[in-house]
Amino acid sequence: MKAKNLAVLGLQWGDEGKGKIVNFLSDRADAACRYQGGHNAGHTLIVDGKKLVLHLLPSSICHENASSLIGRGVVVSCDALFAEIDEIESYAKGIMDRLKISPACTLIQPYHILLDQLKEKSNSFTTIGTTLRGIGPAYEDKVGRKAIRIVDTLSEPKLDQKLEETLSYYNFLFKEYFGVKELEFSEIKDKNLEYGNKLLPLLSDISNEIFTINQAKKRVLFEGAQGALLDVDQGTYPFVTSSNCSPAGIASGAGCGPLDVGYILGVVKAYVTRVGEGPMPTEIEGNLGEEIAKKGGEVGATTGRPRRCGWFDAVSVKRIIQSNSVAALCLTKIDVLDGFESIKICTDYKQEESKKVFAECMELDDVNPNFIECEGWSEPTAGINDYDLIPENAKKFINKIEEICGIPVDIISTGPDDASTILMNKEI
Ligand code: GDP
Ligand code: IMO
Ligand code: MG
């Protein structure tokens, strides 16, 4: 039986190929919903042979029969949102009729971006290697109960009061702590009022939209941004993003009940990549790492930074699976490993027994990975969309991942386009 709803999330450090898979699965749902993160995300899809990179819009946006929802857990930069709509409009006809945004979303303001940049530059703070988009400071304001939400931009007196309170705090910080110029109140206020007007026709009660879709026995596809190892609670803290990008974030960020999430598909690359700072136990140094990065085109879709590459880390993936009700895996980029003589999978961390109590802290800088080696395959998997044509050793590699992770691989991806996809479970 098909699940009520479905969720597609990354189980590593992001860039697992979520965008391609959400676009691929979009005709199985009546709406797709982003529920956390912001324009730090970069989701790549191929539509009519053209590569599109989405940052804020759900990756279903080119499907005319599916609505695109942005839930209250997303932090919205209006500059980024409207630039993306303009860029994508010709590929997503009627976009303004099917895009709906929660008025409860926090807005990213110029002071968030400035603070993100100042902190990353300063020697007094740990460098995280953020996307410099103001994501962290915007979530800080949300949790600190001083965020300006979309709804606040619809009333001038309310906006005046909230902005005055918040901006005076930031300007004190900028002037007294960082020694930089303060930001102008009126400029920020006018922009907010302008964007409030522009957003008005797109606003909707997203929580109720989801409820109504489900009442009509239709389905929502929840699209995660980033990956579970970047989750602020479950990831490699402090080298994480500032939201819950694991399934735990869906109910609060989209506005549905935890039991309504349905089938959870964890997207994993056949290896692993990471952009920015932070530990990565299976990182491959030197030529081999560079070769994988080159073959996989591992360059950040948002910031253009090179992605660090490592072997598939089954320990961290298993940890996420066990505490997140992940039903199955989607294994992407297996084609990038075509032609390698031997491929490693990390199955265990060598770690002192006394340190195991701290495993939940995910401070992975002092763990040593144990690997198993799988024999590579010389015949290509690239572009294959029939499981029977997959080389035997590649099948063994896929089976090994299933066996170690304890859940099935329901989708195999062998290239960036939809045609290069093998649907193993027809019930999705
Ligand atoms: P996302 O953030 O999880 O949506 O992933 P990104 O779009 O940031 O990065 C994934 C990259 O890999 C993009 O360039 C995709 O076009 C590409 N991609 C996705 N699946 C596959 C695959 O199976 N094989 C290959 N070679 N590329 C893929
Ligand atoms: P998608 O959705 C990969 C990383 C940044 C940095 C950390 C915190 O395309 O998988 P932030 O700007 O969020 O405060 O930065 O998180 N990061 C991502 N890495 N893919 C992403 O998104 C990412 N979004 C944020 O590089 O290390
Ligand atoms: Mg990405």
Domain boundary pick from 199, 219, 242? 199
Number of domains present in the structure of the chain: 3
- Does ligand 2 lie within 6 Å of residue 230's CB atom? yes
Residue 342 has pLDDT above 90, yes or no: yes
In this prediction, residue 234 has a pLDDT band, given cuts at 50, 70 and 90, of very high
Is 179 contained in some domain? yes
Do residue 224 and residue 189 come from a single domain? no
Beta strand 271-274 with 308-313 is antiparallel
Is 317 contained in some domain? yes
Return the sign of the alpha-carbon dihedral for residues 267, 272, 276, 279.
positive
Tell me, what CATH number does 226's domain have? Answer: 3.40.440.10
Tell me the C-alpha distance between 287 and 369, whole Å: 20
pLDDT at 303: 86
Is 428 contained in some domain? no
Q: What is the mean pLDDT of residues 72-79?
A: 98
Is 259 contained in some domain? yes
Q: What is the mean pLDDT of residues 240-251?
A: 96
Structure confidence by residue, pLDDT tens digits, 187-227: 999 999 999 999 999 999 999 999 999 999 999 999 999 99
106, 115, 131: residue to mutate for ligand 2 pocket, most atoms within 8 A of CB: 131
pLDDT at 159: 98
| DSSP assignments along 47-96, one per residue | ETTEEEEESSS-TTTT-TTSEEEE-TTBEE-HHHHHHHHHHHTTTSTTHH
Domain boundary pick from 199, 222, 238? 199
Do residue 97 and residue 110 come from a single domain? no
Phi/psi of residue 88, nearest 5 degrees: -100, -15
CB 211 within 8 A of CB 257: no
Is 1 contained in some domain? no
Do residue 379 and residue 300 come from a single domain? yes
pLDDT at 1: 79
In this prediction, residue 366 has a pLDDT band, given cuts at 50, 70 and 90, of confident
Do residue 150 and residue 54 come from a single domain? no
Do residue 289 and residue 414 come from a single domain? yes
8, 24, 26, 44: residue to mutate for ligand 1 pocket, most atoms within 8 A of CB: 44
Do residue 400 and residue 332 come from a single domain? yes
Domain boundary pick from 199, 229, 244? 199
Do residue 340 and residue 419 come from a single domain? yes
CA of 17 to the centre of ligand 3 (A): 7
Tell me, what CATH number does 130's domain have? Answer: 1.10.300.10
Is 16 contained in some domain? yes
pTM for this structure?
0.97
Do residue 282 and residue 366 come from a single domain? yes
Chain centre to alpha carbon of residue 204: 23
CA distances from 308 to 9, 331, 343, 419 (A): 20, 19, 17, 28
Range of the domain at 365: 268-423
Alpha helices in 200-267 (DSSP H): 206-215, 248-250
